[in-house]
Amino acid sequence: MSRLILALDVYERERALEIAECTADYLWAIKVNWPLIIGSGLKIITELKQVTGLPIIADLKLADIPNTNRLIAKKVFEAGADYVIAHGFVGRDSVKAVMELGKTIIVVEMSHPGAKEFIQPVTDKLIEMANELGPFGVIAPATRPERVSYIRSKLKPGIKVITPGVGAQGGTASEVLKAGADYIIVGRAIYQSENPRESARRIFEEVEAWS
Ligand code: BMP
């Protein structure tokens, strides 16, 4: 089974479906974020599932009070999302509201430089929360493999480590897999390339070499 997740951050429905179809052979799942939901509507989740048969991760980074998190997550799971990404820093009650409805991924550290300002100082607390709640997985930064190793070492076995930041943000698949990532997330390096299928295939091969 592939360990590659496509971050399908385009606006247009047709383009999204085209890229998803031509890369599906090399993917484990497709991650849908706000740009695609704003551009194409929530029904794109249902369509992507129908066209590819792959799991869909709704990357909404929910960060609200429990009731609002619940209201949003309910509609997104009903649309067919298999996983929803939620922020942990808003507290256990908000995360639990999502977990009660379906499989959840908690952000414990982000991949951009600014993550060092506020998220990284509380990563240990977010790992503690993940260990207590037992979500499907956590988000950790492919741009900092040493942090992925650290997060993996503190996390209970069985909780998946999912890492964005490979490609456009400078992370490499082999480094982050070596550090202990279970899945890598790649967006621009695939959907902005001239041949998305070929780019997905190349990254898939790199991942396979480490599996
Ligand atoms: P790209 O490979 O084009 O940089 O895309 C990365 C994807 O992962 C984007 O959808 C982004 O919102 C998401 N992401 C991230 O880059 N860093 C994080 O810490 C968490 C994310 O969800």
Strands 103-107 and 137-139 come out as parallel
209 labeled part of a ligand binding site: no
69 labeled part of a ligand binding site: no
Rounded to a whole number of angstroms, the CA Rg of the chain reads 16
Q: Which DSSP symbol is given to 65? A: -
By residue range, what is the domain housing residue 15?
4-209
Residue 211 pLDDT greater than 80, yes or no = no
| Mean model confidence pLDDT for the chain | 98
Q: How confident is the model at residue 210 (pLDDT cuts 50, 70, 90)?
A: confident
CA–CA distance from 209 to each of 22, 160, 206 (Å)?
A: 22, 19, 5
- Work out which ligand 1 atom sits closest to the CA atom of 59: 22
Give the residue whose CA is nearest to atom 20 of ligand 1.
Answer: 110
- When pLDDT is averaged across residues 39-43 and rounded to a whole number, the result is 98
pTM for this prediction: 0.98
- When pLDDT is averaged across residues 50-68 and rounded to a whole number, the result is 98
Mention every residue, 6+ apart, whose C-beta is less than 8 A from residue 167.
186, 187, 188, 189, 190, 203
CA–CA distance from 93 to each of 29, 66, 74, 132, 133 (Å)?
A: 27, 6, 16, 12, 10
Render pLDDT for 103-145 as a digit per residue (tens, 0 to 9): 999 999 999 999 999 999 999 999 999 999 999 999 999 999 9
Q: What pLDDT does residue 67 have?
A: 98
Q: What pLDDT does residue 94 have?
A: 98
CA–CA distance from 204 to each of 23, 27, 168, 178 (Å)?
A: 10, 8, 16, 15
Whether ligand 1 lies within 6 angstroms of the CB of 207 is answered as no
ipTM: 0.99
Residue of 43, 49, 61, 82 marked catalytic:
61
Our mutation pick for probing the ligand 1 site, out of 11, 23, 109, 111, counting the most ligand atoms within 8 A of Cβ, is 111
91 backbone φψ class: left, alpha, beta (φ>0; ψ -120 to 50): left
Q: What pLDDT does residue 93 have?
A: 98
Render pLDDT for 62-87 as a digit per residue (tens, 0 to 9): 999 999 999 999 999 999 999 999 99
Q: What pLDDT does residue 198 have?
A: 98
HSE-up (13 A, CA, CB side) for residue 88: 28
Q: What pLDDT does residue 86 have?
A: 98
Is 64 among the catalytic positions? yes
Q: What pLDDT does residue 101 have?
A: 98
Spatial CA neighbour of 191 closest among 61, 22, 28: 22
> Which CATH number do you get for residue 50?
3.20.20.70
- When pLDDT is averaged across residues 1-7 and rounded to a whole number, the result is 97
SS3 127: helix
- How many domains in the chain? 1
Rounded Cα gap, residues 2 and 7, in angstroms? 15
